[in-house]
Amino acid sequence: MMNRIATDEKTDTKGLRLVTGMPRSGTTWLASMLDAGGQTVYINEPTNPARPPGQSPGVLRATIRGRYQYVCTDNEDEFAAAYADIARLKYHLVDELRANRGPLDLALAGRYIANYAKGRLKKRLALIADPFAVFNASWFSSSLGAPVVVTVRHPAATVSSRKRLGRRVISQDFLSQPLLMRDYLEPYRAELENLSGDIIAQGALLWKMVYGSVYTQASADPSIKIVRHEDLSREPIREFEHLFAHFGLQYNTRARRAIERSTSAKNPAELSLKDAYKTRVNSKQNVTAWHRRLTEQEVRVIRDVTAPISDLFYTEDDWVLS
Protein backbone atom coordinates (compact mmCIF):
# COMPACT_ATOMS: atom_id res chain seq x y z
CA MET A 1 0.00 0.00 0.00
CA MET A 2 2.84 2.35 0.81
CA ASN A 3 4.41 1.61 -2.55
CA ARG A 4 1.15 2.45 -4.30
CA ILE A 5 1.13 5.96 -2.82
CA ALA A 6 4.84 6.71 -2.62
CA THR A 7 5.70 5.99 -6.24
CA ASP A 8 7.49 9.19 -7.19
CA GLU A 9 9.23 12.25 -5.77
CA LYS A 10 5.99 14.19 -5.40
CA THR A 11 4.48 11.56 -3.13
CA ASP A 12 7.60 10.43 -1.25
CA THR A 13 6.84 10.37 2.48
CA LYS A 14 9.99 8.67 3.83
CA GLY A 15 10.90 11.85 5.74
CA LEU A 16 7.71 11.81 7.82
CA ARG A 17 7.31 10.92 11.50
CA LEU A 18 4.10 11.02 13.58
CA VAL A 19 3.56 11.42 17.33
CA THR A 20 -0.08 11.06 18.33
CA GLY A 21 -2.39 10.02 21.14
CA MET A 22 -5.47 11.40 22.86
CA PRO A 23 -5.38 15.16 23.52
CA ARG A 24 -3.84 15.78 26.99
CA SER A 25 -1.88 12.53 26.82
CA GLY A 26 1.54 14.17 26.47
CA THR A 27 2.00 14.33 22.70
CA THR A 28 3.41 17.88 22.82
CA TRP A 29 5.96 16.98 25.48
CA LEU A 30 6.98 13.76 23.76
CA ALA A 31 7.42 15.39 20.36
CA SER A 32 9.26 18.38 21.85
CA MET A 33 11.82 16.06 23.44
CA LEU A 34 12.31 14.18 20.17
CA ASP A 35 12.73 17.50 18.40
CA ALA A 36 15.28 18.66 20.96
CA GLY A 37 17.98 16.55 19.30
CA GLY A 38 18.08 19.01 16.39
CA GLN A 39 17.32 16.46 13.67
CA THR A 40 13.68 17.26 12.94
CA VAL A 41 11.31 20.09 12.04
CA TYR A 42 8.46 20.21 14.55
CA ILE A 43 5.02 20.55 12.93
CA ASN A 44 2.26 21.25 15.42
CA GLU A 45 -1.22 19.73 14.99
CA PRO A 46 -1.89 20.35 11.30
CA THR A 47 -5.36 18.72 11.56
CA ASN A 48 -6.46 20.71 14.59
CA PRO A 49 -9.62 22.52 13.38
CA ALA A 50 -8.66 25.65 15.36
CA ARG A 51 -6.50 28.28 13.68
CA PRO A 52 -3.81 28.37 14.91
CA PRO A 53 -2.36 25.75 14.97
CA GLY A 54 -4.54 24.08 12.32
CA GLN A 55 -6.45 25.32 9.27
CA SER A 56 -3.12 26.34 7.79
CA PRO A 57 -3.02 25.50 4.06
CA GLY A 58 0.62 26.53 3.97
CA VAL A 59 1.40 23.53 6.16
CA LEU A 60 -1.28 21.03 5.13
CA ARG A 61 -2.95 21.76 1.80
CA ALA A 62 -6.03 19.63 2.43
CA THR A 63 -9.53 20.28 3.74
CA ILE A 64 -9.96 19.44 7.43
CA ARG A 65 -13.67 19.30 8.15
CA GLY A 66 -13.54 18.97 11.93
CA ARG A 67 -11.90 17.32 14.90
CA TYR A 68 -10.36 13.88 14.35
CA GLN A 69 -10.49 14.03 10.56
CA TYR A 70 -10.28 10.39 9.59
CA VAL A 71 -8.10 9.22 6.72
CA CYS A 72 -8.05 5.71 5.27
CA THR A 73 -7.60 4.08 1.87
CA ASP A 74 -11.14 5.12 0.88
CA ASN A 75 -10.37 8.85 1.05
CA GLU A 76 -6.58 9.03 1.03
CA ASP A 77 -6.49 10.79 -2.35
CA GLU A 78 -7.60 13.95 -0.53
CA PHE A 79 -4.64 13.87 1.87
CA ALA A 80 -1.67 11.81 0.62
CA ALA A 81 -0.11 14.56 -1.52
CA ALA A 82 -0.53 17.12 1.27
CA TYR A 83 1.39 14.92 3.70
CA ALA A 84 4.02 14.22 1.06
CA ASP A 85 4.58 17.99 0.86
CA ILE A 86 5.07 18.07 4.63
CA ALA A 87 7.57 15.22 4.36
CA ARG A 88 9.51 17.26 1.78
CA LEU A 89 9.17 20.40 3.95
CA LYS A 90 7.38 22.20 1.13
CA TYR A 91 5.47 25.25 2.38
CA HIS A 92 2.57 26.70 0.35
CA LEU A 93 2.97 30.42 0.94
CA VAL A 94 0.39 31.62 -1.59
CA ASP A 95 -2.31 29.38 -0.11
CA GLU A 96 -1.40 30.55 3.38
CA LEU A 97 -1.58 34.23 2.41
CA ARG A 98 -5.04 33.71 0.95
CA ALA A 99 -6.19 32.33 4.30
CA ASN A 100 -4.41 35.01 6.34
CA ARG A 101 -6.43 36.55 9.17
CA GLY A 102 -3.93 38.91 10.69
CA PRO A 103 -0.39 39.59 11.96
CA LEU A 104 -0.22 36.39 14.02
CA ASP A 105 -0.80 34.28 10.93
CA LEU A 106 1.97 36.17 9.12
CA ALA A 107 4.36 35.61 12.01
CA LEU A 108 3.60 31.88 12.06
CA ALA A 109 4.04 31.67 8.28
CA GLY A 110 7.42 33.37 8.55
CA ARG A 111 8.47 30.93 11.27
CA TYR A 112 7.45 27.92 9.20
CA ILE A 113 9.21 29.21 6.09
CA ALA A 114 12.43 29.70 8.05
CA ASN A 115 12.19 26.33 9.80
CA TYR A 116 11.41 24.51 6.56
CA ALA A 117 14.30 26.16 4.73
CA LYS A 118 16.72 25.29 7.52
CA GLY A 119 15.32 21.78 7.69
CA ARG A 120 15.84 21.18 3.97
CA LEU A 121 19.37 22.54 4.18
CA LYS A 122 20.27 20.29 7.09
CA LYS A 123 18.25 17.31 5.76
CA ARG A 124 15.99 17.13 8.78
CA LEU A 125 12.89 14.96 9.12
CA ALA A 126 9.34 16.29 9.41
CA LEU A 127 8.03 15.49 12.90
CA ILE A 128 4.26 15.87 13.20
CA ALA A 129 2.73 16.10 16.68
CA ASP A 130 -1.01 15.72 16.24
CA PRO A 131 -3.46 14.15 18.71
CA PHE A 132 -6.28 14.78 16.23
CA ALA A 133 -4.65 12.23 13.91
CA VAL A 134 -4.82 9.39 16.45
CA PHE A 135 -7.37 7.37 14.46
CA ASN A 136 -5.05 7.64 11.43
CA ALA A 137 -1.99 5.94 12.94
CA SER A 138 -2.46 2.81 10.85
CA TRP A 139 -2.84 4.84 7.64
CA PHE A 140 0.34 6.81 8.38
CA SER A 141 2.25 3.60 8.95
CA SER A 142 0.88 1.38 6.18
CA SER A 143 0.09 3.89 3.41
CA LEU A 144 2.71 6.57 4.03
CA GLY A 145 5.40 4.34 5.52
CA ALA A 146 5.81 6.79 8.39
CA PRO A 147 7.07 5.56 11.79
CA VAL A 148 4.41 6.26 14.43
CA VAL A 149 4.56 6.64 18.21
CA VAL A 150 1.30 6.73 20.18
CA THR A 151 1.33 7.94 23.76
CA VAL A 152 -1.21 6.51 26.18
CA ARG A 153 -1.84 8.16 29.54
CA HIS A 154 -3.83 6.82 32.48
CA PRO A 155 -7.56 7.48 31.93
CA ALA A 156 -7.94 9.36 35.22
CA ALA A 157 -4.90 11.54 34.48
CA THR A 158 -6.08 12.37 30.97
CA VAL A 159 -9.68 13.05 31.97
CA SER A 160 -8.68 15.12 34.99
CA SER A 161 -6.53 17.30 32.74
CA ARG A 162 -9.46 17.76 30.34
CA LYS A 163 -11.74 18.62 33.27
CA ARG A 164 -9.24 21.23 34.47
CA LEU A 165 -9.29 22.91 31.06
CA GLY A 166 -13.04 22.49 30.50
CA ARG A 167 -12.61 20.29 27.41
CA ARG A 168 -15.89 18.76 26.24
CA VAL A 169 -16.62 16.05 23.69
CA ILE A 170 -18.86 16.78 20.70
CA SER A 171 -20.53 13.61 19.49
CA GLN A 172 -20.98 14.89 15.93
CA ASP A 173 -17.21 15.03 15.50
CA PHE A 174 -17.48 11.26 15.23
CA LEU A 175 -21.04 10.50 14.15
CA SER A 176 -20.61 12.75 11.10
CA GLN A 177 -17.75 10.58 9.80
CA PRO A 178 -19.20 7.34 8.38
CA LEU A 179 -15.77 5.89 7.54
CA LEU A 180 -14.50 6.41 11.07
CA MET A 181 -17.68 4.95 12.55
CA ARG A 182 -17.45 1.96 10.20
CA ASP A 183 -13.82 1.17 10.97
CA TYR A 184 -13.55 1.85 14.71
CA LEU A 185 -16.44 3.54 16.48
CA GLU A 186 -19.62 1.68 15.56
CA PRO A 187 -19.57 -0.16 18.93
CA TYR A 188 -19.85 3.24 20.63
CA ARG A 189 -22.67 4.67 18.52
CA ALA A 190 -25.31 4.40 21.25
CA GLU A 191 -23.04 6.08 23.79
CA LEU A 192 -22.27 8.89 21.35
CA GLU A 193 -25.91 9.40 20.45
CA ASN A 194 -26.81 9.57 24.15
CA LEU A 195 -23.74 11.49 25.28
CA SER A 196 -23.90 12.65 28.88
CA GLY A 197 -23.39 16.31 29.74
CA ASP A 198 -20.97 15.26 32.48
CA ILE A 199 -17.45 16.29 31.45
CA ILE A 200 -15.95 13.34 33.35
CA ALA A 201 -18.10 10.76 31.56
CA GLN A 202 -17.45 12.50 28.22
CA GLY A 203 -13.69 12.40 28.66
CA ALA A 204 -13.80 8.77 29.73
CA LEU A 205 -15.78 7.80 26.63
CA LEU A 206 -13.30 9.63 24.41
CA TRP A 207 -10.42 7.80 26.12
CA LYS A 208 -12.14 4.45 25.56
CA MET A 209 -12.82 5.17 21.89
CA VAL A 210 -9.32 6.47 21.19
CA TYR A 211 -7.40 3.69 22.86
CA GLY A 212 -9.75 0.98 21.72
CA SER A 213 -8.86 2.06 18.20
CA VAL A 214 -5.17 2.38 19.06
CA TYR A 215 -5.10 -1.17 20.41
CA THR A 216 -6.81 -2.43 17.24
CA GLN A 217 -4.43 -0.50 14.98
CA ALA A 218 -1.29 -1.59 16.81
CA SER A 219 -2.45 -5.21 16.98
CA ALA A 220 -2.70 -5.25 13.19
CA ASP A 221 0.51 -3.26 12.70
CA PRO A 222 3.22 -3.97 15.31
CA SER A 223 5.38 -1.19 13.85
CA ILE A 224 3.07 1.32 15.57
CA LYS A 225 4.85 1.90 18.87
CA ILE A 226 2.75 2.54 21.97
CA VAL A 227 4.40 4.17 24.98
CA ARG A 228 2.83 4.89 28.35
CA HIS A 229 3.14 8.47 29.56
CA GLU A 230 3.83 7.14 33.06
CA ASP A 231 6.83 5.09 31.91
CA LEU A 232 8.29 8.12 30.13
CA SER A 233 7.73 10.23 33.23
CA ARG A 234 9.34 7.81 35.68
CA GLU A 235 12.30 6.73 33.52
CA PRO A 236 12.64 9.45 30.87
CA ILE A 237 16.32 8.98 29.99
CA ARG A 238 15.96 5.27 29.36
CA GLU A 239 12.52 5.31 27.71
CA PHE A 240 13.24 8.17 25.32
CA GLU A 241 16.25 6.28 24.00
CA HIS A 242 13.86 3.66 22.59
CA LEU A 243 11.72 6.33 20.92
CA PHE A 244 14.69 8.03 19.30
CA ALA A 245 15.72 4.67 17.87
CA HIS A 246 12.19 3.98 16.61
CA PHE A 247 12.25 7.24 14.65
CA GLY A 248 15.80 6.70 13.38
CA LEU A 249 17.13 9.67 15.35
CA GLN A 250 20.42 10.01 17.16
CA TYR A 251 20.00 10.11 20.93
CA ASN A 252 22.59 12.83 21.40
CA THR A 253 23.79 14.91 24.33
CA ARG A 254 21.59 17.82 23.29
CA ALA A 255 18.48 15.65 23.49
CA ARG A 256 19.42 14.06 26.83
CA ARG A 257 20.06 17.44 28.41
CA ALA A 258 16.70 18.75 27.20
CA ILE A 259 14.94 15.70 28.65
CA GLU A 260 16.74 16.13 31.97
CA ARG A 261 15.70 19.79 32.16
CA SER A 262 12.12 19.01 31.19
CA THR A 263 11.65 16.27 33.79
CA SER A 264 13.81 17.57 36.65
CA ALA A 265 12.65 17.25 40.26
CA LYS A 266 13.35 21.00 40.52
CA ASN A 267 10.42 21.70 38.20
CA PRO A 268 6.92 22.33 39.61
CA ALA A 269 4.82 19.26 40.38
CA GLU A 270 1.94 20.78 38.40
CA LEU A 271 1.69 23.57 35.87
CA SER A 272 -0.67 26.48 36.31
CA LEU A 273 -3.60 26.81 33.95
CA LYS A 274 -1.92 29.65 32.07
CA ASP A 275 1.11 27.41 31.50
CA ALA A 276 -0.85 24.22 30.80
CA TYR A 277 0.92 23.63 27.46
CA LYS A 278 4.49 24.04 28.70
CA THR A 279 6.72 20.99 28.92
CA ARG A 280 8.80 21.50 32.07
CA VAL A 281 7.35 19.71 35.07
CA ASN A 282 8.50 17.35 37.81
CA SER A 283 7.59 14.32 35.74
CA LYS A 284 7.56 11.76 38.55
CA GLN A 285 5.21 13.83 40.71
CA ASN A 286 3.06 14.74 37.73
CA VAL A 287 2.16 11.06 37.28
CA THR A 288 -0.10 11.18 40.36
CA ALA A 289 -1.47 14.73 39.98
CA TRP A 290 -4.90 13.26 39.22
CA HIS A 291 -5.05 11.87 42.76
CA ARG A 292 -5.50 15.44 44.00
CA ARG A 293 -7.84 16.59 41.26
CA LEU A 294 -10.50 13.87 41.26
CA THR A 295 -12.93 12.55 43.82
CA GLU A 296 -13.29 8.83 44.47
CA GLN A 297 -16.66 8.94 42.71
CA GLU A 298 -15.16 10.58 39.62
CA VAL A 299 -12.43 7.93 39.52
CA ARG A 300 -15.09 5.19 39.71
CA VAL A 301 -16.98 6.74 36.80
CA ILE A 302 -13.82 6.91 34.69
CA ARG A 303 -12.90 3.34 35.49
CA ASP A 304 -16.39 2.01 34.80
CA VAL A 305 -16.63 3.81 31.45
CA THR A 306 -13.13 2.98 30.19
CA ALA A 307 -13.17 -0.72 31.09
CA PRO A 308 -12.27 -3.13 29.58
CA ILE A 309 -10.02 -1.05 27.27
CA SER A 310 -8.12 0.49 30.17
CA ASP A 311 -7.32 -3.01 31.45
CA LEU A 312 -5.22 -3.54 28.33
CA PHE A 313 -2.82 -0.81 29.45
CA TYR A 314 -3.15 -0.47 33.24
CA THR A 315 -3.36 -2.80 36.25
CA GLU A 316 -5.44 -2.70 39.40
CA ASP A 317 -2.59 -1.02 41.29
CA ASP A 318 -2.54 1.85 38.79
CA TRP A 319 -6.01 2.92 40.00
CA VAL A 320 -5.14 3.15 43.71
CA LEU A 321 -5.43 6.65 45.14
CA SER A 322 -2.52 7.57 47.41
Mean pLDDT in residue range 129-143: 98
Query: Is residue 282 very low, low, confident or very high in pLDDT (cuts 50, 70, 90)?
Result: low
* Strand residues in 106-177 grouped as ranges (E): 125-129, 148-152
Is the predicted pLDDT of residue 243 greater than 50, yes or no? yes
User: What tens digit of pLDDT does each residue of 35-52 get?
Assistant: 999 999 999 999 999 988
What's the CA gap between 209 and 289, in Å, rounded? 23
Is the predicted pLDDT of residue 271 greater than 80, yes or no? no
More confident residue, 104 or 81: 81
Q: Where are the domains of the chain?
A: 1-149+223-263, 154-220+288-322
Query: Is residue 276 very low, low, confident or very high in pLDDT (cuts 50, 70, 90)?
Result: very low
How buried is residue 103: exposed, middle or buried, by Cβ count under 10 Å (0-12/13-18/19+)? exposed
Query: Is residue 7 very low, low, confident or very high in pLDDT (cuts 50, 70, 90)?
Result: very low
Percent of the chain whose pLDDT exceeds 70: 92
Mean pLDDT in residue range 239-259: 96
What's the CA gap between 317 and 32, in Å, rounded? 30
Q: Give how far Cα 19 sits from Cα of 10, 129, 132, 315, Å.
A: 23, 5, 10, 25
* Residue 65, helix vs strand vs coil: coil
Q: Which residues contact 107 (CB under 8 A, 6 or more apart)?
A: none
Q: Give how far Cα 75 sits from Cα of 46, 175, 177, 183, 240, Å.
A: 18, 17, 12, 13, 34
The answer to which of 150-154, 160-164, 189-193, 288-292 has the lowest mean pLDDT is 288-292
Phi, psi of 181 (to 5 degrees): -60, -45
